[in-house]
Amino acid sequence: MPRLFVGNFHFEHELTAVAGWHPSAALRRMSAERVVSWISLAEDGDRIWTPEPISEDFWNSLAKHGLPHVRGVVDLDSAARNVHEVIPWGWSARTRAISGTTAQPSDSSVRQGNSREWSFAEEQELGVALIGAARLERIEDLFEAVRRSASELSEPVADHAWVVKANFGMAARERLLGRGPTLTPPQQDWLSRRLAADGAVFFEPWLQRRAEVGIQWTLPPLGQGEPKLEGVTPLLCDSQGGYRGSECSLDASIPHDWQRAVEVCEQVAKRLQTLGYFGPLGIDAAIYEDAAGTAHVRPLQDINARFTMGRLALGFRWMLRSGERGVWRHGRSAELTPLAAVEAVREIDLTPPLIGGSPPTHGSRLCIR
C-alpha cells in the first residue's frame, strides 16, 4: 500500500491551538502552496495531501522529469484510511487522529523538541548560549535585555539590533525585529499577546551571519539505535533571516567549520530521544561574526523535531551525478526565473500553474549544477 504525506506546515500553530481551532485561510493557503515539496521523499504510487486541488497533469509532468509518479488527494480522512503509513510534517493532534497504526513519538517530546523554552535551556546547559540571549516574562524585561546585550557586545544601546522569538515559531514567523530600547505600538501589542499566551518569549541580539546550515538527523525509538546523521544542508537565507532555499550534494563528509556544531547537535539528539521522540530532527546552526569580525559558531540556532525543508532537500540527492550540486530555491513564484544555462545543468519547476484554481504566490525550483 502507498504512503500518505501530510504537509501541515502550520504545525507550530497546531501545537498551541485550543479546542475548536481551525487554520486561517492564509495558513491553509500557505500549506497548499508547499505540498509539492514532498515529491523529494515520495515513491511511485504514494499520495500527497493537497488542501486545495492540484491538477493531475501537473503531477504527470513531474514524472516526465524523472520524479516519482504520485497522486494528489484532497480528502485527508479518506486518504488516510487507504495507506499503510501517514508521514506528517509534524506530529499534532490532527495528524495523530488520522495516523491509524503509524508509530508516533510522545506528544510531550514533540512539544519540547519544538519549543524555544527547551532549546534555550539546552544552549545554557551545554555551554553554547548566545551572548546577550535572555528569557523574557514581562515587557519591562526587554528593555533591560537590550541594554545588557548592547553592553556585553560593546554596541550603542540605541543602535543595538535584536530579535524576540515566540516559544513556538518557524521559518522567520512568530518573531519581532527591533533596534534599541523602544517599541512601536504594534511591536508592544505583539509582545503583550505573546507573553499572555505563552508566559515567556526569547530575546537574542541580531547576528551578522556568514553561513547557515541545517543538520539533519533521524532518531530511532529509544533502545533501537543511536541518532543517525543524514546530512548537513547549506541554507539560503535573505537579509532578514527568511528561508530562501537549501543545497545538497553527494558529499557525505562533515565540513570542518561545522564539526563542533554536529557534535553539540548529537548530544541534543540523544537527549531528545530519551524524552520519547523519534523521527526526523533538523537543527539549524550558524556561523556569525562579532563587531571585531571574529567568527563564532552557534550550534543550536533552531531545533525542529519535525521535517524541515533542508531534510526534504536531501531527498533530491538521488538525482545528482558525481560532482553535481542541487540548489532548491524557494520564494515568490514571480521571482523564481530560470537560471542562466551556464549556471544550471538542468532545472525542474516545482510550482503548479494553479492551486485550487488560483496561481500560487509561493513556488520552488530545483536547479542541478
> pTM, whole model, 2 decimals?
0.94
pLDDT tens digits, one per residue of 142-199: 999 999 999 998 899 999 999 999 998 765 678 999 999 999 999 999 999 999 989 9
Tell me if residue 265 falls in helix, strand or coil: helix
pLDDT tens digits, one per residue of 86-113: 999 999 999 999 998 899 999 999 999 9
Domains (range + CATH), the chain: 3-104+316-368 (no CATH), 110-116+208-312 (3.30.470.20), 131-205 (3.30.1490)
Tell me if residue 152 falls in helix, strand or coil: helix
**C-alpha to C-alpha distance for 108 and 245, rounded to whole angstroms:** 30
Q: How confident is the model at residue 189, as a pLDDT?
A: 95
The string of DSSP letters for 46-57 reads: -EEE-SS---HH
Q: Which residue has the higher pLDDT, 153 or 264?
A: 264
Which segments of 240-304 are extended strands (E)? 243-249, 279-289, 295-304
**C-alpha to C-alpha distance for 295 and 287, rounded to whole angstroms:** 7
Q: How confident is the model at residue 242, as a pLDDT?
A: 87
Q: How far is CA 286 from the centre of its chain?
A: 14
Read off the pLDDT band of 336 (50, 70, 90).
Answer: confident
Read off the pLDDT band of 337 (50, 70, 90).
Answer: confident
